[in-house]
Amino acid sequence: MTDQHASHAHRAAPPRGRKPILSPALVLAVIAPLLAVGALLLVSSSVPGTPAPGAPAQESLDAVRIGCPAGVPRSPELAIANAAGATGKVAVAGKGGKESANLAADKVASVEAKAAAVLTADGKPAAALLASRFGTSKMVAAGECLPPAPERWFTGVGGGAGHRSTLELVNPDAGPAIADITIYSSEGLLDVSSVRGVTVPGGGVTTVDLSEEAPSRTDLAVRVVTSRGRLSASMLDEAESGGSTTRDWLVGQPRASRTAILLGLPKGEGSRTLTIANPNDDQVDAELSVITQKSTFKPVGVEPIELPPESAVTVPLTGALLKELSKAEGGLVVTASQSVTAAVRSVVNGDLSHVASVPSFETGAALVPADSVGTLVLAAPERAGSATVTALSADGRKLLDNERIAPSARTTAKLTLPKKTVLVIVRSEQAPLFGTIRMFDDKAGGAVVHLRQLVDSSLVPQVAPGR
């Protein structure tokens, strides 16, 4: 210890008033890294098109998993296609085991899968992948397979004996997922503790029968929020008509909005009801307009609808409003003071169908059953638009090749699809467009399919040191 203390005591100290001398090598070692970092920052910020540090980059979609609802009785097939013409394999995993679909360019593959399933595609088939379920030769119905979404709305569902709906949650991943379900009725928000924190096991399926969990004589609205993991949500609706049961899938709305455009209402004898959900804490007023091939207008005598806070209000479409909706290929426009969701439920000629509000598209596509006559309806609610339409048969033949359709401002335009059409691709050239395909069969009834924006890329975060 003595030697150690003595050594410290006799260290030479620099004379007072004299600054330590820094060698050139030491200066270079300190300054060079700083200059290099500054140069990199200067280059990345000065090159045009270079994303800012930490900004997400748009990259091609090279892997996707989507969930498909279970099939209806006597219709176990899944229709699968790639709207970009890509080829490859798509894995189909469900309760019945694992299958695979071989995608050929512009063709539609069919795979038997009765239960709910998860579709997995890697590489080129992942972008612009489409899959759907359909009804039978005696019942036209259409349900989409969709990628997981953090939120999904189903408006106009039922919890009664004559009108019942079943929510189906598909988990495409290995880990568990959790959904929080909120149910709105004409009397306000329902307190249903059993649908809060619904756990779906990895690769599993969970169903929620609303007639058991939220019995109600009036139509409801359901909001599904995924609080953990990822989930694909779908809703199968059933109605009693003429002593028999008719089924169709209810189209989910991704979010509430102040304007809802409902296109492709079926024609014929029957009932049509509009359900509007108000998730806000305040009362909301909603106004109804009709959009047709000639104009958008408010029918005489149609009063605004008052929506109490956190409620779902259902009104029948009758009188002057229904008369105007039946005149031409068009639809209903709901404009609200705050964000709402809306859907029209119809039982026409004994068959059930739904029309819901969906977002606009730039390149939209849809699969349709080949045995029914389809009519494409496009709406340009703000300014004039134009689009090209390609229609394909199951074996890849082009039945329509870039057929032009151009709705004027605040109007709709229609196009009858050729027989045997199974895949429709619509590319917007001007203005935001909204579109549906209304299918009708004299014996089997009708269904409405919505054009969905094709997904071919995803945002990938930029990872850098210290970020």
Say which CATH number the domain at 433 has. Answer: 2.60.290.11
> Which pLDDT band, with edges at 50, 70 and 90, does 234 fall under?
very high
Give the best-scoring range by mean pLDDT among 33-42, 347-356, 417-426.
417-426
Is 364 part of any domain? Answer: yes
Q: What distances in angstroms separate CA 417 from CA 133, 356, 421, 443, one per listed residue?
A: 19, 21, 7, 19
238-251 pLDDT, tens digit per residue, is: 998 778 889 999 98
Final residue before a domain boundary, out of 135, 170, 187: 135
pLDDT at 60: 61
Q: Does residue 399 fall inside a structural domain?
A: yes
pLDDT of 441 > 90? The answer is no
Residue 463 pLDDT greater than 50, yes or no: no
* Single-letter amino acid, residue 371: D
| 199 close to 171: Cβ distance less than 8 angstroms | no
The pair of structure tokens assigned to 147 is 């990628």
pLDDT, tens digit (0-9, with 9 covering 90-100), for 19-39? 444 454 443 444 444 444 344
Q: What is the mean pLDDT of residues 4-14?
A: 40
Question: Where does a domain end: 135, 161, 191?
Answer: 135
Mean pLDDT of the chain: 86
- How many structural domains is the chain composed of? 2
Q: Has residue 112 been placed in a domain?
A: yes
Write down which residue in 135, 162, 181 finishes a domain. Answer: 135
Residue 162's alpha-carbon distances to 24, 237, 241, 245, 393, in angstroms, are 89, 11, 8, 9, 37
Rounded distance, CA 35 to CA 43, Å?
12
User: How many alpha carbons fall within 13 Å on the CB side of residue 19?
Assistant: 3
pLDDT of residue 457: 62
In this predicted structure, what is the pLDDT of residue 36?
44
Which of 361, 369, 364 minimizes the C-alpha distance to 248?
A: 369
Residue 267 lies in a domain: no
Residue-wise pLDDT tens digits, 300-335: 999 999 999 999 999 999 988 888 888 778 899 999
Q: Cα dist. 346→68, 293, 447 in Å? A: 24, 22, 10
Query: Domain for residue 293, yes or no?
Result: no
- Looking at the domain assignment, is residue 325 inside a domain? no
Predicted pLDDT at 437: 95
Give domain status of residue 438, yes or no.
yes
* Residue 42 lies inside a defined structural domain of this protein: no
**Position with higher pLDDT, 5 vs 136:** 136
pLDDT of residue 460: 46
Tokens of residue 190, six digits:
């329902």
Q: Which domain holds residue 83?
A: 58-66+71-135
Q: What is the biggest distance separating any 2 CA atoms in the chain, rounded to whole angstroms?
A: 109
Those residues whose C-beta lies under 8 Å from the C-beta of residue 195, and which sit 6 or more positions away, are: 180, 181, 183, 208, 213, 214
Indicate the burial class of 113 (C-beta count within 10 angstroms; 0-12, 13-18, 19 or more): buried
Q: What is the mean pLDDT of residues 168-177?
A: 97
| Average pLDDT value for residue range 83-92 | 96
**Is residue 12 predicted with pLDDT exceeding 70?**
no
Q: Is the pLDDT of residue 47 over 90?
A: no
Per-residue confidence at 464, pLDDT binned at 50, 70, 90? Answer: very low
Question: Which of the four pLDDT bands, split at 50, 70 and 90, describes residue 281?
Answer: very high
Confidence band for 446, pLDDT divided at 50, 70 and 90: confident
Chain-centre distance for alpha carbon 291: 23
How much is the pLDDT for 120? 96
pLDDT band (50, 70, 90) for residue 197 = very high
Q: Which tokens belong to 444?
A: 């089997």
Nearest to 240 by CA among 163, 296, 307: 163
CA distance 326 to 344: 14
What's the per-residue H, E or C state across the chain? CHHHHHHHHCCCCCCCCCCCCCCHHHHHHHHHHHHHHHHHHHHHHHCCCCCCCCCCEEEECCEEEEEECCCCCCCCEEEEEECCCCCEEEEEEECCEEEEEEECCCCCEEEECCCCEEEEEECHHHCCEEEEEEEECCEEEEEECECCCCEEEEEEEEECCCEEEEEEEECCCCCCEEEEEEEEECCEECCCHHHCCEEECCCCEEEEEHHHHCCEEEEEEEEEEEEECCCEEEEEEEEEECCEEEEEEECCECCCEEEEEEECCCCCCEEEEEEEEECCCCCEEEEEEEECCCCEECCCCCCCEEECCCEEEEEECCHHHHHHHCCCCCEEEEEEEEEEEEEEEEEECCEEEEEECCCCECEEEEECCCCCEEEEEEEECCCCCEEEEEEECCCCCEEEEEEEECCCCCEEEEEECCCCCCEEEEEEEECCEEEEEEEEECCCEEEEEECEECCCEEEECCCCCCC
- Residue 461 banded pLDDT, cuts 50, 70, 90: very low
Please state the rounded mean pLDDT for residues 198-208. 97
Give the global pTM. Answer: 0.84
Which amino acid type is present at position 162? G
Query: Which pair of tokens denotes residue 56?
Result: 């997400």
pLDDT bin (cut points 50, 70, 90) of residue 48 is very low
Other CB atoms closer than 10 Å to residue 433's CB: what's the count?
A: 25
